[in-house]
Structure 1
Amino acid sequence: MTDLLLLLEGLKAAPACLVTVESTQGSAPREVGAWMAVFANSLVGTIGGGHIEHQAIAQARLRLSGLAGAPRQRCALGPALGQCCGGVMHLGFELVGAQHAQSLQQRLAPALYPVALFGGGHVGHALARVLAPLPFALTWIDSRDGVFPDPAPEGVRCEHSEPVQLAVPRLAPGSRVLIMSFSHAEDLDVVAACLRRQREQGDLPFIGLIGSKTKWATFANRLQGRGFMPHDLAQVTCPIGVPGIHGKAPEVIAVAVAAQLLQTLYAAPALEKLQASVTAMHPHPG
């Protein structure tokens, strides 16, 4: 269960003090918007750990007990706190209860970037588990029946498509695409469908294909035979995963690919970031 759902469930039984990172200067352990909810006897989320979090928890519980406190607090991350980040965090404190559930869901829902994962094999299963808690709205696609786990990882939407490449035109704008089906023929058809979409819409920021350099050389030759040009093929990443991680166990590949996707977020253009915000406000059914 995500931190937001844990917070909303907890508020059904008791109020909390919401601590939010409102701004930062210099080095800080968490970014603006990070939050934690402090209940009388439990905690959800984090603003970075360490002594600053310990101090913020104490301040939040004072407010929960009815003692007055300023709604904002400046925390210098220096020797006085036993931390050497050297920056400053400005924290906001807010008492919240069950009556605030709807507004909190809108305010705290993370921005999610759409990802389409083609393939329900061993690596696909490992990758779906790794991606589920990360800032991605994952659509998992396969042409076969009975390949998805029941239940699927939280927030993951599973889709059957036969033939599988027909799912490509329906993908959300800005989708990052990962291709790892049970069949090289299916992989090739999905790559071709993605490149056709790129010619028409140009809205897939990442197309990743599992496999070796030899596999890609074969695919590149066949795709050129279908009329794709070198600049089309340059949009495909194969092999996938952060370079330097050589393990072939499904879980190792999954971590390497997830890290590569996270790297692409920092280069996301403004339009794509807007799409992620819209996804956060109106998530896909799952």
Structure 2
Amino acid sequence: MDDWRNAAQPGPAAVLVTVATVEGSGPRAPGARMLVTPEQVFDTIGGGHLELRAVEIARAMLSDARVRHIERFALGPSLGQCCGGVVHLAFELADPAQASLLAQRLRDDTWRMVALDGAPDAALFHADGALLWGTACPPFARERGTHVMQEQDGRRWLVDQVQAPRDHLVLFGAGHVGQAIVRALAYLPCTVTWVDERDDMFPHSVPANVTVEATDVPEALVASAPPGAAYLVMTHSHALDQRLTEAIMARDGVGWFGLIGSLTKRRQFEHRLRARGVDGSRIAAMVCPIGLPGITNKAPAVIAASVCAQLLTVWEEAAHRSAGAPPLRLVASSQT
């Protein structure tokens, strides 16, 4: 999900292409990015002729030393696309120092401001408005994501929200299915805390969005998870599954809870949970069996695909519910 950040660090010269604004229908929303090097393209702004043309422009920039600019594309017959909207793309030579800092902030929101008049002015801001890197920029108090801001003198800036993943999964179990789920989530906009008592079960390397926790007290990771986190329990032990289930039922702010198993396992756990006085509504919210209805293949990769699709549905619904929450107002630190 963040190939462009990693690829923009010290290496070949590259151009960062950002969807700055979209009027009407477009293949990607503002904030979508891709990085173009002489030989490769990382991530996507939506494919099709729009992307092909953007790659051509970006590679031309690598030879003509043009710093930054913005271009308008009508998604009609001239591009062989029928979206019907208008997309503005910002083109800038990738700055390795900026990219290195962004790569360290995968779990933090960051705002980029870059001048679109060819000047080198640029800055990175923390979500609270504190300047992290770069030069002084005009103040901004915007309540939307990536967009183009124009000053009174006509100077334009790309205001680009580099948003950290909002969705977090605490995954208990590093067996075959757990490993398949981690692989399936590797390029999706989420973070994962992967928990198991057996240190030797984890692979030598894990995706950038995964944190490994090898611990003898996995229940502690239930309490330390952020509010709204999803939990997925699939350990090697039914007894441990039971303890983790009780710990999850005991805390507030659970976004979603899935337990691997059959309907028989669910009934056994329901009986034990009721005997321990767990509220019936919490028991009813437990998802077991896991995965999308109609998919019965028990191969680890199939289970992982089904469960990840289920999680994406849950997270999408949660995002729609929270869409009405008041946004954070940001002001450049030079004004604070």
CA drift of 1:194 comes to 0.5
AA aligned opposite 2:29: E
Note if contact 1:165-1:186 (Cα within 8 Å) is conserved in structure 2: no
Residue 165 of structure 2 is aligned with which of 86, 111, 114? 111
Aligned runs of 1:189-228 on 2, under 5 Å? 189-198=243-252, 203-228=253-278
Measured in 2, the distance between the counterparts of 1:77 and 1:168 equals: 47
Measured in 2, the distance between the counterparts of 1:6 and 1:236 equals: 37
1:120 aligns with 2:174: yes
Measured in 2, the distance between the counterparts of 1:13 and 1:162 equals: 41
CA drift of 1:239 comes to 1.3
Between Structure 1 and Structure 2, the one with more strand by share is 2
For residues 109 and 229 of structure 1, do their structure 2 counterparts lie closer, same or farther at Cα, with a shift above 3 Å needed?
closer
SS at match of 1:259: helix
Gaps of 5+ in 2: 104-109, 113-161, 327-336
Q: Equivalent residue for 1:265? A: 315
Between Structure 1 and Structure 2, the one with more helix by share is 1
1:152 aligns with 2:178: no
Q: Equivalent residue for 1:47? A: 45
Q: Equivalent residue for 1:134? A: 188
CA drift of 1:112 comes to 4.7
1:80 aligns with 2:130: no
Residue 143 of structure 1 is aligned with which of 191, 197, 217? 197
Q: Equivalent residue for 2:234? A: 180
Measured in 1, the distance between the counterparts of 2:209 and 2:294 equals: 30
Aligned runs of 1:16-27 on 2, under 5 Å? 16-27=14-25
Note if contact 2:6-2:99 (Cα within 8 Å) is conserved in structure 1: no
AA aligned opposite 1:144: R
Note if contact 1:22-1:91 (Cα within 8 Å) is conserved in structure 2: yes
AA aligned opposite 1:4: W
Note if contact 1:14-1:97 (Cα within 8 Å) is conserved in structure 2: no
CA drift of 1:98 comes to 2.5
1:3 aligns with 2:8: no
CA drift of 1:167 comes to 2.5
The number of residue pairs the alignment matches comes to 267
SS at match of 1:71: strand
For residues 121 and 42 of structure 1, do their structure 2 counterparts lie closer, same or farther at Cα, with a shift above 3 Å needed?
closer
Task: Give me the TM-score of the superposition, normalised by structure 2.
Answer: 0.72
For residues 154 and 96 of structure 1, do their structure 2 counterparts lie closer, same or farther at Cα, with a shift above 3 Å needed?
closer
Note if contact 2:172-2:196 (Cα within 8 Å) is conserved in structure 1: yes
Deviation string 1:18-74 (CA, Å, 9 cap, x unpaired) is: 110112233322222111122233322211111000111122223332276982222
Note if contact 1:15-1:98 (Cα within 8 Å) is conserved in structure 2: no
Measured in 2, the distance between the counterparts of 1:161 and 1:67 equals: 52
Measured in 1, the distance between the counterparts of 2:295 and 2:272 equals: 28
SS at match of 1:266: helix
Q: Equivalent residue for 1:242? A: 292
SS at match of 2:258: strand
Deviation string 1:213-252 (CA, Å, 9 cap, x unpaired) is: 2211221111000101211212211111122222110000
SS at match of 1:116: strand
Task: Give me the TM-score of the superposition, normalised by structure 1.
Answer: 0.84
Measured in 1, the distance between the counterparts of 2:82 and 2:288 equals: 41
Note if contact 1:4-1:109 (Cα within 8 Å) is conserved in structure 2: no
For residues 187 and 109 of structure 1, do their structure 2 counterparts lie closer, same or farther at Cα, with a shift above 3 Å needed?
same
Measured in 2, the distance between the counterparts of 1:217 and 1:3 equals: 43
CA drift of 1:192 comes to 1.0
Q: Equivalent residue for 1:277? A: none
Q: Equivalent residue for 1:253? A: 303
AA aligned opposite 1:114: H
Measured in 2, the distance between the counterparts of 1:183 and 1:116 equals: 17
CA drift of 1:190 comes to 0.8
CA drift of 1:208 comes to 0.7
Deviation string 1:120-142 (CA, Å, 9 cap, x unpaired) is: 21111111111122112111111
Measured in 2, the distance between the counterparts of 1:82 and 1:69 equals: 28
